[in-house]
Structure 1
Amino acid sequence: MLSDSAADRVRKFLANRGKGFGVRLGVKTTGCSGLSYVLEFVDGINEEEDAVFNDKGVNVIIDKKSLVYLDGTELDFVREGLNEGFKFNNPNVKGECGCGESFTV
């Protein structure tokens, strides 16, 4: 679910933030291809709508509607030249739009 570098980055961000329960992963309907990823740091959960996983000491929250789209997905944190950021490695993706902002499953 989380690469070592993603888990380290999330832990550092939450420590710098001074609070937080974990990181939320999800999908929303948008873009050319239909779906885009959501990543946000959260302070709490909705027990009826959220599934909580602990991976490498990090709470990962996924809303139950997004689980089907994210099954088997790894969240990585990569540095490419001067850019750095989180990257979703999702085996369920069947296609992506040209700009890379959205995907289909």
Structure 2
Amino acid sequence: MAVVITEKAADEVKRILDDQKHESDTKLRIGITAGGCSGFSYSLTLTQDFDDEKDTKYDYHGIQVVVDKKHALYLDGTTVDFYDGIDRRGFAFNNPNATRSCGCGQSFQA
């Protein structure tokens, strides 16, 4: 299984890429960092870097998504969505590997 981004999340990434005038080969890198209130925090960055040996690349709804193979163990099966409502706005992660998540949904424990 892989990391997946929804069409709504891909549309938001496209909007950001256009607004910030990124190059056409810019990719969305999804990863994790140590920290956060539950142990790991999710990371979303825009990058042009890709290493065949260290990374896996996916294409969802016209967006190239890159995941470091070391992070894939923690992110396998994760869906990244985007919410734009009256009560919240931003990217959200649904990670089946998380044994515990914080209230804001931006960090988790595996």
| TM-score interval, smaller chain | 0.7 to 0.9
Q: CA deviation at 1:2?
A: 1.0
1:12 corresponding residue in structure 2: 15
CA drift of 1:24 comes to: 0.6
Could you tell me which of 90, 106, 109 is aligned with 1:104?
Answer: 109
Equivalent of residue 73 in structure 1, options 74, 78, 85: 78
Question: What is the distance in 2 between the residues matched to 1:24 and 1:98?
Answer: 24
- Aligned-residue Cα RMSD (Å) equals 1.8
Size of the aligned set, in residue pairs, is 105
2:39 is aligned with 1:34: yes
Q: TM-score, normalised by structure 2?
A: 0.83
Secondary structure of the 2:96 match is coil
Cα distance in 2 for partners of 1:101, 1:23 equals 17
AA partner of residue 44 (structure 2): L
Could you tell me how far 1:27 is from its partner in structure 2? Answer: 0.7
The residue that corresponds to 2:53 in the other structure is 48
SS of corresponding position for 1:27: strand
- TM-score, L = length of structure 1: 0.87
Report sequence identity in percent. Answer: 39
Structure 1, unmatched stretches of 5+, are none
Deviation (angstroms), 1:33? 2.2
Query: Would the aligned equivalents of 1:70 and 1:92 in 2 still touch at CA under 8 Å?
Result: yes
Which of these residues, 77, 87, 95, is aligned with residue 90 of structure 1?
95
| Secondary structure class of the residue paired with 2:5 | coil
Structure 2 residues without counterparts, runs of 5 or longer: none
